[in-house]
């Protein structure tokens, strides 16, 4: 049912990643389609069947994760989580401008009650482009996600995902991954901001 729903709706996405330097210069470093994953179908099925939350706010795409262990093997519809999502508020940056939240996550249609960390997309960064397209703008400012380290080694960012807020109306939000993309390694530093402009066509 979920795959049939996804195919009938023909939802598509496109992601542009830009480095913005302190001088104001910009460099587009990624411009390609993304992968709409099965979580999108799960979220819409809950919405259409009235089988989940009764608040439309819980069906908003309003948060994201970035990670350090992405790969092309994850660019399939069955992907339900990032391989190496940032795992603390500190990794996202305590001095940055990212709104952050800790929440659970839905994996394989079940709520995993382990804290996960998300960036929140401000409402002013969610823009309707036309009748069928919404753009989500994610900004990792100069003080965010810098020099992420795992096991004493610097790890570049190389994956990003969009999440719907809380389709099951769990007491603690339990987002579900709806779109994913792997990209070439980017070592995030304070020299630049990283801007993700992610358009979803419904």
Predicted TM-score (pTM) of this structure: 0.94
Residue 152 is predicted with a pLDDT of 86
How many C-beta neighbours within 10 Å does residue 29 have? Answer: 13
Q: Is 163 in contact with 82 (CB distance < 8 Å)?
A: no
Domain extent, residue 146, equals 2-201
Q: What is the tens place of the pLDDT at every residue in 173-194?
A: 999 999 999 999 999 999 999 9
Q: What is the tens place of the pLDDT at every residue in 77-136?
A: 999 999 999 999 999 999 999 999 999 999 998 999 999 999 999 999 999 999 899 999
Number of domains observed in the structure of the chain: 1
Where does residue 65 rank: exposed (0-12), middle (13-18), buried (19+ CB within 10 A)?
A: buried
Q: Which two tokens stand for residue 67?
A: 């990670």
Instruction: Find the mean pLDDT for residues 143-147.
Output: 96
């Amino acid at each position: 049912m979920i795959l049939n729903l996804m195919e009938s709706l023909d939802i598509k996405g496109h992601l542009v990643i830009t480095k913005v330097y302190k001088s104001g210069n910009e460099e587009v470093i990624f411009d390609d389609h993304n992968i709409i994953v099965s979580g999108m179908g799960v979220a819409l099925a809950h919405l259409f069947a009235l089988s989940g939350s009764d608040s439309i706010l819980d069906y908003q795409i309003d948060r994201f994760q970035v990670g350090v262990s992405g790969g092309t093997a994850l660019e399939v519809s069955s992907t339900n989580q990032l391989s190496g999502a940032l795992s603390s508020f500190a990794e996202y940056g305590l001095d940055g401008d990212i709104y952050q939240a800790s929440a659970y996550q839905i994996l394989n249609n079940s709520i995993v009650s382990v804290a996960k960390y998300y960036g929140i997309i401000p409402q002013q960064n969610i823009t309707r482009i036309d009748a069928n397209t919404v753009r989500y703008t994610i900004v990792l400012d100069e003080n965010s996600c810098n020099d992420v380290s795992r096991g004493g080694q610097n790890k570049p960012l190389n994956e990003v995902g969009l999440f719907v807020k809380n389709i099951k109306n769990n007491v603690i939000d339990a987002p579900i991954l709806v779109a994913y993309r792997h990209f070439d390694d980017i070592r995030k530093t304070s020299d630049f901001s990283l801007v993700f402009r992610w358009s979803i066509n419904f």
